Structure 1
Amino acid sequence: MKQAGLCCLALCCTVSLKVRAQQDCRDVLPLIITDEKTGEGIPGAAIGTGSLQALTDADGHGLLEGLCTGKLHLHVEALGFVPLDKDLAFSKGDTLRLSLKTADQTLDAVEITGHKQVLNTTTSVTTLHQEELDRLKGGNLATILTAIPGVNMLQTGATIGKPVVNGMHSNRLLVLNNGIRQEGQQWGSEHAPEIDPFIAQSITVVKGAEAIRYGAEAIGGVVLIEPPALPTDKSIHGELNLVGASNGRAGTVSGMLSGNLAKLPALSWRVQGTLKRSGNLETADYFLDNTGSKELNYSAALGYSKEHFGFDLFYSHFDTELGIFKESHIGSIEDLQAHIANGRPFDNGSFYYSIDAPRQQVKHNLLKANGHVHLNDYLHINMQYGFQTDNRREYDIRRGGRSSIPSLNLTLYTHTLNAYLEYFNGRQWKAMFGVDGIYQQNSYDGASATRQLIPDYNTNGLGVYAIGKLIKEAYQVEAGLRYDYKYLTALGYRDKQLYGGRHTFGSLSGSLGIVLPFSDKWNLRSNIGTAWRPPTVNELYSDGLHHGAAAIEYGDSTLNPERSVKWINSLAATPLPWLNVNLDVYAHYFKDYIYLYPTGQFEDRLTGAFPTFVTKHTDARFLGADLSAGIHFLKHADYTIKGSMVRAKDISAGKYLPMIPADRLSNALKWSFNPGKVAQETYVQLEHVYVAKQTRYEPGSDYAPPPDAYQLLNLSAGTQLQWKRHQLGINFAVDNLTNTLYKDYMNRFRYYAHDIGRNFILRLTYRI
């Protein structure tokens, strides 16, 4: 694999030399569109030059591709602002910042090519744009998001990971896939979000408690996955991604095509698909048996847009099969205790692609329909319907040749309906009024003839909210209020006994935030918000083996809803031309915080022996800070530092909480240059990552103490080859360069094995 990667890199470099003399008409121009009065980024601004068009994201950032270096005429329009026409000249590497004046009356000529609920919040927001995503492709969503300070990863072995934001994960962290709440996380924390990251043009993490906009599950933050906007020009746009990795001998191919109809230019389309295969992963010393995976995903979108209205349809399918590390499903309590004491498998394993029991099959389908209408110059309404199906099958090692029969087969159906009315007077007042509805039905296939992990259940939910924002030159103030109601009924059999119950939950949430743009160099955001979260069915009624985590978990049907208050302050500063700093400091207090606690006991089941965990609740406090800073020195060199820390405590018992991320610090030195007209954005980067030992831990409270601190070196390099309308991105990386043998505290399989070792990764991205 390593030799193949080097050959591909050499071949691409040869292509670079051959096309160096050709005219470059594939330049990229980043733009930032802001409000002239407030300096705030303007989302949804339409940027055009000739046949090329782009839309700005939630932060006012846009990207024009396919340009020729030199002069161009730029036209910018946004609802509530005076259109801008400007002639300018640009060079490679430039970033253009433009400001728009607010209009006394919005012009009717503005064409809205796409519409989404504007994320224009007073809390901390970080976005990974296309350039950063190109350098991270091939990993799962959680791995990609760890590039953001304050985001860690909760792992269940080497194949399952989910993001952790400021210590919050699973049902406290809401994931929006193209505007739809991802609902496949209702069965527990031992499986990853069913999302293909290749669909995303940007991924945004909101660290505040965004419960007002999005509902109770946003108590810990929000992750927004945004695909590219549907095109409005007559060209066909295409993208092909190839990723190869040495660890697991993995290969991924993903493609995307989009365009519109020449005879009906208001109608646009996009199709996308991904195929991925990986074998057993390897630590620095040994293979992890049965850790292969297969993945097949695809999606399609269709949109129709006119001057004052539009609609779009979106469908996606996610299908994965995952092997569960064999040494986590062990035959007897004595063997399990011996494996935990040893801290690694007793043999070195081997490589193979086949996936045996224990394994999982997960399928997720999403259908979205969205429409918007501009009622007048200041008022528009948006309605959205989403339908999801989630099916999860778990296969254990079973006697009598029954390993091919799922031991657990769960299906979840979710309907969501959202509508909101947004008002902006073109000057200083913005307001939003919305209503959200949800209906879910979960069913268990009894043909598997094993113990029912959770009961069948139905849920109904309704939320109404209002948000207002005042925009002044010296400050911005935002306030919001929301009420949510949820009804849950659950019914199942446990040892031939009927169990379950009815639960009704309801509560108010509120938020207040302010933005203080002291100057173009200093910006402070402060937001305080209350939030709540009803307990999920797995927290209430779990009774059995959570397959992916290789753990027996027990719920508590008497749980109360979590209630919290979070105050987060974010400072963004560029005090010197060569220095930028971003600092987030937060305090998060919980009433009835729900968590899993290790009992220290083991249980024998037909499929093996497993550690046991019980669901508990307490009052808790989370304090923390996230830092990122960049220094530009010499002509081509940049140094960046990122760090995060969380201090979590059970304040009722005066003890530390389990499974809280340890302190993390990373340093990176990057050398960037442009060797010619064709080869652009060339870079070489060396990164050092340090993760401390988690010392805020109750001795003897877990099956194994927290692992030692570890350090990793990561090396990466890349370039962009551009000619005419073609662009080829090449990124080569070596993760864990020194092949360090280590364990991470946030990996639930650290009892049995180490994390993965050195990994060579080659990423190729071709665009037209």
Structure 2
Amino acid sequence: MTIFTSMQKFICTFFLLTSLFSNAFGQNFNLGGLISDGQRQPISGVVVSVSGSNKTVVTDRDGHFLIKSLDSGTTTIRFARLGYTAIEKTFNIHTDDLKVHVILVAEVRQLKEVTIEDGHTGQKNKTESLNIQTVDAAFIQRNLGGSLMKTLERLPGIKTIGIGSGQSKPLIRGLGFNRVVVVDKGVKHEGQQWGADHGLEIDQFAANQVELIKGAASFIYGSDAIAGAIAINPAPIPMVNSIGGSVDLIGKTNNNLFGSSVNLYARNKQWFLDSRFTYQDYGDYRVPTDEVYVYDYQVKLKDNFLRNTAGREIGTHLNLGYVNERFRSVFYLSNTISNSGFFANAHGLEPRNVDAGMHDASSRDILRPSQKVNHFKIINRSVLEDGNHRFEGELGYQRNLRKEFSDYVNHGYMPSVYPSFMTVPSDLEREFDKVVYSANLRDRITLGKHELSLGLNGEHQNNGINGYTFLVPAFNQYSIGSFVYDKYRLNDNILLHAALRYDHSRIKMFSYTDWFPSTITSGAVAREEYVVRSSDLKRQFNSVVWSVGANYNLDRFSLKANVGKSFRMPIAKELGANGVNYHYFSFEKGDPSLAPEQSYQADLSLEWKAEQWSILLSPFYNYFSNYIYLNPTSGHDTNYGAGNQIFQYAQSKVVRYGAELQFKIKFLKTLTAEALGEYLSAEQRSGDKAGYTLPFSPPASALFNLTWSPVLKNRPEGTYFSIDYRVTSPQNNIVPPEKKTPGYQLINLQAGTKIKFYNQSLMISLQAQNVLNTRYLNHTSFYRLIALPEMGRNIVLSVKIPFSSIKNKS
């Protein structure tokens, strides 16, 4: 009995001690925190790995990371990112979760000229199945074009539809307009994307980092991302207890542009304020020819200037935010105003009626035809971190007010003299007033090897019209979508992706009746009638899209593969257009029965990185079962357009395929070379234009670069001398009424350096664009239809003067 009692006590004591030791040594904890650089700016893409295990995470865009389920005791963590010195730190975790702040120091040998950060070196690209390239503010300053989209055109797969020297819109792999989503601070930028002459109201000086997603991204952004997306990110949040800013100065010789952008910011521990004001003024731009032909009319150009292409741009930005360890909320306010002219001989005016003397009197005045655009935007972005969850949300309001001015010219049955009873100004050709409300909500959840994202998006648009001409009806539109996206880390080398999304959209278009009577003939009877150009129409659309992909990463080799389905709902112009597009001298008619576009796409990315060189190949294949396009017919309108050809929106099957190639090699310590190439083939497989390509299909091209980055004494790093040689093939594969475009070669030069100025690094960049003043035609240009060559030689000088002060580094 005594032995039995003793045994019971022993067993109870044993289990009690086992339980205590299990609780003491078996409890799991979380380790998280922030990783920043020497300037206390967050670093994304840092690989954080636990020594002796396969646990690895990557910091997000705000520099945060979280490692879960660590055993109590001593743990060694390694922090590594290309361009920074890798470090290891040991932490003791015993009683509670641990939050840390780690600082990485930039390597001295970091290549300052690397511009496609995430395409070649970023860790983020290794965890995304889509083809993503990232450029930073340094790339933008070094390659400043007439607009942000023009600046990005240097990258393979990215082209623009140029509208003079100050406006342009993006093409991704040959697709543009409402097939490319532009995301500004997390919210879709909504303007009048459907027009070839409607540029994007984005201030490139306010863009700190731009992510370019090439390929279908509908599962993230919904409709309109069927070709890809361009995400514009603001500057990082200022350091604690800091005040500073910068002054950017820019000048261009071709159109005598001068401009400046001034940035001021300040922050205490939790609140910050960031502001920017941008102003640019430019004159008519010059082309390397003294005459052009507009529909067989000879147009003489005085001193090679394109009359009435001057403009002015003003951008105002104000950001106010609150930040702590777990929560941040930032309000972004911006107001972008532009006023620019259209080439007087190619916008709704017959070339022989243009008052050339008046337009040529000054190269800086803005006469009719012209456009004024005001884009006002308020966005709130908030992030809350709570354990395994990271909640992200955006709320947005924007108003895009666009006015097109032109002298009144009667067409068809319009009265010869503008009536006095009209309340619309006689020079207001068209007005579009779009108001958009947006809301996004996401929850990023980490569950073991899964990184799960749940999202909900909603948007409401109200678009009003005005003016004495009609093309697109007024409409209301709303859409709502939800998605689930999972990243599953199979092992250290393989990451799997799967996404599913559902969208519901409705559009309501309103009727429009001519303000003047037309003579309608029915048999032998003629009568006057106020023609209804657009009837009331309601349509709704539902769509399910999906995407699956995989990443395979080794030390030097990485492979990415993605297949998916995307969609795009038809827009108001495609459904209800019924009028003359004076920009193209065409009569356009919509089709109210159009179905949503459905697209299937496969993307592949193969990358190999060695010590002195790297290569990236990105082929893709794309199939549209019902691509929407503007089909030129054999008919001509005689009622409104004085005989203009009728273009009817239609749908057809389309196959597209192509690839981008990027190769970079370092010959010497200071000498690098780069080759960028792109190829695209598109063919319509059904409809009236079966066998033809698609409009605005860019030709194959290649860019070869040589850069010398000397290390100079008594001067900070950042000096470079660079030459670009671009070769573009002829585009003979066209769809009428497009014309074939001959090939061309261009040479551009760049140089830059940094100069110490009162303990600040003043940055100077110099470009010589089209050095040889080559006369060439850009196949995707707005003015290609009238064989108008692109801008001639242009010298661009930009200077960035930063200044900052830190009150208390602690």
Query: Do both share a fold (TM > 0.5)?
Result: yes
Structure 1 residues 332 and 130, CA gap change in structure 2 (3 angstroms): closer
1:208·1:527 contact (CA, 8 Å) conserved in 2?
no
Q: Does 1:654 align with 2:673?
A: no
Q: What is the letter of the counterpart of residue 602 of structure 2? A: W
Give per-residue Cα distances to partners, 1:332-382, cap 9 Å, x unaligned.
Answer: 59x69xx9xxxxx9999676100111100111111112222223x211222
Structure 1 residue 305 displacement after superposition? 1.3
Please identify, of 461-470 and 605-614, the stretch whose mean Cα deviation from structure 2 is larger.
Answer: 605-614
What is the one-letter code of the residue matched to 1:714? N
Q: CA-to-partner distance for each residue in 1:90-110, whole Å, 9 max, x for gaps? A: 9xx964456899999994536
1:166 aligns with 2:173: yes
Which digits, 9 at most, give the CA deviation of each residue in 1:479-514, with x for residues without a partner? Answer: 010000001111121434261300010010100010
Q: Do the aligned partners of residues 421 and 100 (structure 1) sit closer, same or farther apart at CA in structure 2, a change above 3 Å counting?
A: farther
Which of residues 270, 274, 278 in structure 1 aligns to 2:278?
Answer: 274
Q: Superposition pairs for residues 707-722 of structure 1, below 5 Å?
A: 707-722=741-756
Task: Select the residue among 193, 201, 206 that pairs with 2:200.
Answer: 193
Per-residue Cα deviation, 1:122-151 (whole angstroms, up to 9, x for no partner): 111101122211202353122111121111
Which of residues 480, 488, 494 is equivalent to 1:470? 488
**Please, which of 567, 582, 589 is the counterpart of residue 532 of structure 1?**
567
1:12 is matched with which residue?
Answer: none
Contact 1:641 1:668 in 2 (8 A): yes
Amino acid at match of 2:442: Y
Aligned to 1:14: none
Which of these residues, 410, 417, 436, is aligned with residue 414 of structure 1?
Answer: 436
Distance 2:573 2:783 in 1: 20
5 Å-filtered alignment, 1:135-284, equals: 135-261=142-268, 265-284=269-288
Matched position secondary structure for 1:131:
helix
Separation in 2 of the partners of 1:282 and 1:170? Answer: 27
Q: Distance in 2 between matches of 1:520 and 1:57?
A: 19
Most deviating of 711-720 and 149-158: 149-158
1:503–1:606 CA distance, 2 compared to 1 (3 A):
closer
1:290/1:326 contact within 8 Å kept:
yes
Give the equivalent residue in structure 2 for 1:381.
Answer: 391
| 1:171–1:186 Cα contact (<8 Å) kept | yes
Query: Given that residues 528 and 567 in structure 1 are in contact (C-alpha distance below 8 angstroms), is that contact kept between their aligned partners in structure 2?
Result: yes
1:502 alignment partner in structure 2: 538
Alpha-carbon separation, structure 2, partners of 1:223 and 1:474: 28
Question: Residue by residue, what CA displacement relative to the aligned partner does 1:301-359 show, whole Å, maximum 9, x if unpaired?
Answer: 111112222211111111101111111036559x69xx9xxxxx999967610011110
- Residue 394 of structure 1 aligns with an amino acid whose one-letter code is E
Residues 549, 748 of structure 1: 8 Å contact kept: no
Aligned amino acid, residue 748 of structure 2: N
How many angstroms apart in 2 are the aligned matches of 1:607 and 1:166? 33
Please give the alpha-carbon distance, in whole angstroms, between the structure 2 residues aligned to 1:541 and 1:268: 47
Aligned to 2:499: 480
Q: Judging changes above 3 Å, is the alpha-carbon distance between structure 1 residues 759 and 727 closer, same or farther for their aligned structure 2 residues?
A: same
Give, in angstroms, the shift of residue 520 of structure 1.
1.6
1:48: how far off? 4.8
**Is the CA contact 1:137–1:198 (under 8 Å) kept in the aligned structure 2?**
no
Give the match's secondary structure for 2:785.
coil
Correspondences of 1:284-295 after superposition (within 5 Å): 284-285=288-289, 286-295=304-313
8 Å Cα contact 1:540-1:555 kept in structure 2: yes
Correspondences of 1:719-730 after superposition (within 5 Å): 719-723=753-757, 725-730=759-764
1:530-570: CA deviation from partner (whole Å, max 9, x where unpaired): 11110011111122244555654322212110001111001
Aligned to 1:750, the other structure's residue is in SS state helix
Given candidates 391, 406, 431, the residue that maps to 2:452 is 431
Q: Distance in 2 between matches of 1:99 and 1:494?
A: 72
Aligned to 1:365: 376
Q: Per the alignment, do residues 395 and 429 of structure 1 end up closer, same or farther by CA in structure 2, a change over 3 Å counting? A: same
Larger Rg: 2
Q: Choose from 539, 557, 560 the match for 2:595.
A: 560
Q: Is the 8 A contact 1:452 1:492 kept in 2?
A: no
CA contact (8 A) 1:151 1:164 kept: yes
CA contact 2:43–2:63 (8 Å) conserved in 1: no
Cα 1:607/1:358, change in 2 over 3 Å: farther
Report the alpha carbon displacement of residue 453 of structure 1 after superposing the two structures with TM: 2.1
Equivalent position of 2:715 in the other structure: 678
Structure 1: 5+ residue runs without aligned partners? 1-42, 62-74, 113-117, 340-344
| Partner residue of 1:109 out of 99, 111, 128 | 99
Partner Cα separation in structure 2 for residue 530 and residue 397 of structure 1: 46
Mark the CA change 1:511 to 1:346 in structure 2 (over 3 Å): closer, same or farther. farther
Partner of 2:402: 392
Q: Specify whether residues 720 and 606 from structure 1 end up closer, same or farther in structure 2 by C-alpha distance, changes over 3 A only.
A: farther
Cα distance between partner residues in 1 of 2:251 and 2:584: 28
Of 788, 791, 796, the residue aligned with 1:761 is 796
Separation in 2, partners of 1:101, 1:257: 39
Give the C-alpha shift of residue 609 in structure 1.
8.0
Question: Which among 442, 457, 466 is matched to residue 463 of structure 2?
Answer: 442
| 2:366 aligned partner | 355
1:195-222 per-residue CA deviation (whole Å, 9 max, x = no partner) reads: 1111111111011211111112111111
CA gap of 1:172–1:682, structure 2 versus 1, over 3 A, is same
Aligned residue for 2:326? 308
Distance 2:167 2:47 in 1: 34
The reply on whether 1:696 has 2:733 as its aligned counterpart is yes
**Closer, same or farther: CA 689–527 of 1 in aligned 2, 3 Å:** same
Q: How many residues align?
A: 682
Amino acid at match of 1:593: Y
Unaligned runs of 5+ in 2: 1-31, 49-61, 103-123, 290-303, 410-416, 419-423, 515-529, 804-810
Matches of 2:470 and 2:794, distance apart in 1: 39
Structure 1 partner of 2:521: none
1:459–1:486 CA contact under 8 A, matched in 2: yes
Using the size of structure 2 for normalisation, the TM-score is: 0.78
CA 136–609 in structure 1, closer or farther in 2 if over 3 Å, else same: farther
Given that residues 237 and 257 in structure 1 are in contact (C-alpha distance below 8 angstroms), is that contact kept between their aligned partners in structure 2?
A: yes
C-alpha spacing 1:706/1:159, structure 2 compared with 1 (3 Å) = farther
Report which stretch shifted further, 685-694 or 186-195. 186-195
Q: 1-side partners of 2:90 and 2:478: how far apart?
A: 44
Aligned-partner Cα distance in 1 for 2:433–2:575: 18
Q: Distance between the aligned counterparts of 1:172 and 1:87, measured in 2?
A: 39
Q: Please state whether the residue corresponding to 2:784 is helix, strand or coil.
A: coil
Contact 1:256 / 1:272 at 8 angstroms: preserved in 2? yes
Q: Flag the 1:76–1:655 CA change in 2: closer, same or farther, 3 A.
A: closer
Alignment identity in percent?
24
Counterpart for residue 33 of structure 1: none
Match of 2:41, as an amino acid? A
Query: What's the offset of the Cα at 1:419?
Result: 1.0
Where 1:588 maps in the other structure, the secondary structure is: strand
C-alpha distance in 1 between matches for 2:357 and 2:747: 28
Q: In 2, distance between residues paired with 1:359 and 1:441?
A: 24
User: 66, 75, 78: which is aligned to 1:79?
Assistant: 66
Between the aligned partners of 2:45 and 2:368, the Cα distance in structure 1 is: 44
CA contact (8 A) 2:146 2:167 kept: no
Cα distance in structure 2, aligned partners of 1:221 and 1:77:
27
Calculate the aligned-residue CA RMSD, in Å: 3.3
2:547 equivalent among 496, 503, 511 = 511
**Secondary structure in 2 matching 1:655:** coil
Letter in structure 2 aligned against 1:671:
W
